[in-house]
Amino acid sequence: MSRFPLLRLPTLPLLNCIQYLKVFEIIDFSLLSKRTRALVSLVNWNQPDIHAIFYENSQICLKFPNDAGLEWILDFESEFDGELDHTTRAIDGNQFPSYIDSDLHGPKVFHHLIFPNDEHFETMRKMAEHVSAIFRTPIASFEINQQSDQLTMSIVKWFSTLQSSVVDLDIDTTDEITASTLLFIMDNVTDYFSWELKMNTPDFEYTKAIDIPSVILSHSQWITLKSILNSSSRVIVLGESNLTFCDINSFLKHWLKGSNPQLEYCSIRRSMKGKAIEEDIEEAFQIITKDLEVREHEEDGRRPMQVRISLHRKSSYSLPNDLCYDIVRDDGTIGTFHQTYFHRSDVPDFKFHYFYFHVWNNKI
DSSP string, 267-311: EEEEEE--S-HHHHHHHHHHHHTTT---EE----S-S--EEES-T
Residues 295 and 219 in one domain: yes
Rounded distance between C-alpha atoms, residue 354 and residue 164, angstroms: 36
245, 124: one domain: no
Domain hosting 11: range is 1-139
Q: Is residue 187 part of a domain?
A: no
In a domain, 146, yes or no: no
Q: Are 135 and 27 within 8 A, CB to CB?
A: no
d(CA 97, CA 16): 30
β-bridge pairing 334-343 and 351-360: antiparallel
What's residue 265's pLDDT?
95
Of 112, 139, 166, which residue is a domain's last?
139
Per DSSP, what are the bridge partners of residue 307?
317
In angstroms, rounded to a whole number, what is the distance separating the alpha carbons of residues 47 and 55? 25
354 and 227 in a common domain: yes
Pair (23, 123) in one structural domain: yes
pLDDT of residue 153: 80
- Asked if residue 128 is part of any domain, the answer here is yes
Count CB-CB contacts under 10 A for residue 164.
9
- Tens place of pLDDT for every residue, the chain, 364 residues? 456 677 888 889 888 889 889 999 999 999 999 999 999 999 988 889 999 999 888 999 999 988 888 999 999 988 876 666 788 888 877 888 888 999 988 888 999 999 988 878 888 999 999 999 999 998 888 888 877 778 888 888 888 788 877 777 787 765 667 777 778 777 777 777 777 666 666 778 888 898 888 888 888 888 999 999 999 999 999 998 999 999 999 999 999 999 999 999 999 998 877 655 556 788 889 999 999 999 999 888 889 998 888 766 677 888 877 889 999 999 999 999 999 888 767 766 778 889 999 999 866 4
SS3 6: helix
210 and 100 both lie in a single domain: no
Looking at the structure, do residues 211 and 131 belong to the same domain, yes or no? no
Per-residue confidence (pLDDT) for residue 271, from 0 to 100: 81
Distances in Å between the Cα of 318 and the Cα atoms of 6, 249, 309, 321 are 55, 24, 10, 10
Query: Any bridge partners for residue 338, and if so which?
Result: 356
Residue type, 280: D
Helix, strand, coil tally for the chain in percent (to 5): 25, 30, 45
Within a domain: 177: no
4 with 124, same domain? yes
111 & 31 share domain: yes
Give, rounded to a whole angstrom, the gap between the first and last alpha carbons of the chain.
Answer: 68
Structural domain contains residue 192: no
Main-chain dihedrals φ then ψ at residue 39, nearest 5 degrees: -65, -45
Residues 219 and 356 in one domain: yes
127 and 273 both lie in a single domain: no
Whole-Å CA distances, 89 to 18, 39, 86: 19, 19, 9
Examine the domain organization and report whether 127 and 253 are in the same domain. no
pLDDT at residue 344 in the model: 66
Residue 43 included in any domain: yes
pLDDT of residue 300: 85
Domain count, the chain: 2
199-203: long-range contacts (C-beta < 8 A, 24 or more apart)?
200/149, 200/175, 200/176
* Residue ending a domain, choose from 98, 122, 139: 139
Q: Which residues of 121-148 are buried (b: 16+ CB within 10 A; e: fewer)?
A: bebbbebbbbbbebbebebbbbbbbebe
Instruction: Please report whether residue 147 resides in a domain.
Output: no
Q: Is residue 170 part of a domain?
A: no
The domain boundary, picked from 139, 170, 197, lies at: 139
Query: What is the distance between the alpha carbons of residues 199 and 191, in angstroms, rounded to a whole number?
Result: 22
Q: In sequence order, which ranges of 163-244 are alpha helices (DSSP H)?
A: 179-186, 225-229
264 shares a domain with 128:
no
